[in-house]
């Protein structure tokens, strides 16, 4: 069945894990489209409180009885839900159509003629946030699904009345192949999720498939050779961005002012405006260029683009300032791949702090083992690297890899397993004028919050 017609005849949709950051926005959008929504979850959260605030019935716990009570016409579940889950089993036993979250995202996107899917190995969330903020701030009234909380909206979603929808398109396990967007943004392509893809060539092939599913326009990083490779046979319109003058849109005259920075945005040799950013790093110049291209495509005047990009202060866990207790700056960042670590740490080292303490939580055994040398090179950048134990996520340590294996390759590094040990070490050694930067794709933000509390 065509994606757009998957919801024909459906009135009631039940979301398992409705409080999740990826599920909550879909539930909100569908509720505002007139569907009756129910949900279940196993833990309380801010997003769950937001869902309950709409009057949506939420069951705590995932039991077969929930299906009997809610009587949904369709069920949506997160990838974390196992086949043996009693609630999912009950729905399947009753013949209720069950869609995994990425499938539902593809269905929802199909209802928006002007859909923008932001893909790429790095920078998806920040770029999605920038595009959303510019479009909302200039009155385009988009809907949006963002991978982190956008302070501008105090939410990770937007529910608009226009035909525009902006969403993240994650490549892991080929989830983004459920989406057939009008516009695809490719921020970059790098070797990641090798537990699934095995090789960089396989990653490029997946992005090539995604590009072939895109209907009208590809907005891509023309400085990234892997992206160029993936788009070799794409016939639809393509617009490139980057720092090189060979791109359609490019940055010139880049200037730094502490955490803030600015550049002149050029289009085929002509200066369009000066873009001022309140977030640091060359990677954010790339992200903002992508946002400029998309906003320009939708007819947003360049002065409005510049005005709204300057107001963008980041997305939750993207170089997020948590506090400055005793004049020690504590920042948390989602960086969990060597390329991301390198970009974040190089930015941190240029900000003029006395000493940069990088607290890194390795994310998955497979990624750590396969990219060990690359992680080590990135962790040589800060003044001191502190490495926690590896977060297993979905894996068993069949790779026989440990944080000490990484520590041996980083001179002067410190390996401490627990957040308590790390917090005590920072408390004993950090001085006023220093930066403490926690990094990782897991729960290392909890360590950051501990450090702020301890230093206060």
162 & 198 share domain: yes
The answer to whether residue 107 is domain-embedded is no
327 & 449 share domain: yes
d(CA 61, CA 288): 41
The pLDDT value given to residue 1: 67
Q: Return the CATH number at 388.
A: 3.90.190.20
Strand partners, 185: 118, 219
The pLDDT value given to residue 404: 97
122 & 139 share domain: yes
180 & 273 share domain: yes
Strand order of the β-sheet with 183-186 is 155-158, 143-150, 164-168, 114-119, 183-186, 217-221, 237-242, 249-257, 260-267, 270-277
The pLDDT value given to residue 358: 98
> Scanning the structure block, which residue is given the tokens 């800060």?
382
194 & 307 share domain: yes
344 & 362 share domain: yes
**Both tokens of residue 166?**
């902006």
Among 74, 102, 130, where does a domain finish?
102
Average pLDDT of adjacent 10-residue blocks, the chain of 456 residues: 88 95 92 96 86 94 96 94 94 97 96 97 94 98 92 91 96 92 97 85 96 98 97 97 98 90 96 95 95 98 98 86 92 91 93 95 94 97 98 91 97 97 98 96 92 96
Distance of CA 291 to CAs 117, 131, 206, 380, 407, Å?
Answer: 12, 5, 23, 32, 38
The pLDDT value given to residue 18: 94
The answer to whether residue 2 is domain-embedded is no
Q: What is the b/e burial string over 398-409, where b = at least 16 CB atoms within 10 angstroms of the residue's CB?
A: ebebbbebbbee
289 & 326 share domain: no
The pLDDT value given to residue 45: 81
The pLDDT value given to residue 73: 97
d(CA 104, CA 419): 37
Q: Which residue segment(s) compose the domain that 434 sits in?
A: 320-455
Q: Return the CATH number at 226.
A: 3.40.1190.10
Distance of CA 222 to CAs 135, 168, 232, 286, Å?
Answer: 23, 20, 12, 10
57 & 166 share domain: no
Among 311, 341, 371, where does a domain finish?
311
The pLDDT value given to residue 317: 82
Task: Give the pTM.
Answer: 0.84
Q: How many helices (H) and strands (E) does the chain have?
A: 17, 21
Tell me how far the alpha carbon of residue 119 is from its chain's centroid. 9
155 & 174 share domain: yes
The answer to whether residue 196 is domain-embedded is yes
Among 50, 77, 102, where does a domain finish?
102
Q: How many domains does the chain fold into?
A: 3
Q: CA angle, 135 as apex, 133 and 136 as ends, to 5°? A: 65
Q: Return the CATH number at 33.
A: 3.40.50.720
């Amino acid at each position: 069945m065509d994606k757009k017609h998957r919801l024909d005849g459906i009135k009631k949709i039940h979301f398992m894990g409705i409080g999740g950051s990826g599920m909550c926005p879909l539930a909100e959008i569908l509720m505002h489209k007139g569907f009756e929504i129910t949900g279940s979850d196993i833990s309380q959260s801010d997003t769950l409180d937001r869902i309950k605030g709409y009057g949506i019935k939420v069951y705590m716990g995932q039991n077969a009885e929930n299906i009997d009570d809610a009587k949904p016409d369709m069920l949506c579940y997160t990838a974390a839900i196992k086949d043996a889950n009693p609630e999912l089993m009950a729905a399947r036993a009753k013949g209720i159509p069950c869609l995994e979250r990425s499938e539902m995202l593809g269905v929802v996107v199909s209802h928006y003629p002007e859909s923008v899917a932001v893909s790429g190995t790095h920078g998806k969330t920040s770029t999605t946030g920038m595009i959303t903020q510019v479009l909302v701030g200039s009155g385009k009234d988009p809907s949006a699904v963002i991978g982190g909380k956008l302070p501008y909206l105090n939410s990770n979603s937007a529910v608009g009345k226009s035909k525009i929808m902006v969403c993240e398109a994650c490549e892991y396990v080929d989830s983004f192949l459920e989406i057939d967007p009008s516009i695809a943004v490719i921020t970059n392509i790098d070797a990641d999720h090798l537990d699934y893809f095995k090789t960089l060539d396989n990653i490029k092939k997946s992005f090539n498939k995604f590009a072939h599913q895109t209907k009208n326009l590809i907005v891509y990083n023309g400085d990234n050779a892997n992206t160029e490779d993936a788009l070799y046979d794409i016939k639809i319109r393509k617009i490139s961005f980057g720092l090189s003058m060979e791109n359609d849109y490019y940055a010139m005259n880049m200037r730094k002012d502490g955490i803030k920075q600015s550049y002149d945005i050029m289009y085929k040799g002509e200066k369009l405006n000066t873009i001022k950013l309140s977030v640091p790093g060359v990677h954010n110049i790339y992200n903002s260029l992508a946002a400029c291209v998309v906003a320009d495509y939708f007819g947003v005047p360049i002065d409005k683009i510049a005005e709204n990009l300057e107001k963008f202060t980041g997305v939750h866990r993207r170089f997020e300032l948590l506090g400055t207790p005793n004049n020690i700056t504590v920042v948390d960042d989602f960086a969990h791949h060597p390329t991301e670590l390198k970009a974040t740490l190089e930015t941190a080292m240029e900000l003029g702090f006395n000493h940069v303490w990088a607290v890194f939580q390795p994310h998955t055994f497979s990624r750590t083992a396969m990219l060990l040398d690359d992680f080590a090179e990135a962790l040589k950048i800060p003044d001191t690297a502190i490495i926690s134990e590896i977060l297993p996520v979905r894996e068993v340590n069949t790779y026989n890899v440990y944080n000490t294996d990484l520590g041996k390759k980083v001179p002067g590094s410190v390996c401490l397993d627990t957040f308590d040990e790390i917090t005590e070490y920072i408390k004993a050694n950090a001085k006023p004028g220093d930066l403490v930067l926690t990094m990782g794709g897991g729960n290392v933000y909890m360590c950051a919050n501990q450090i702020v509390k301890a230093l206060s």
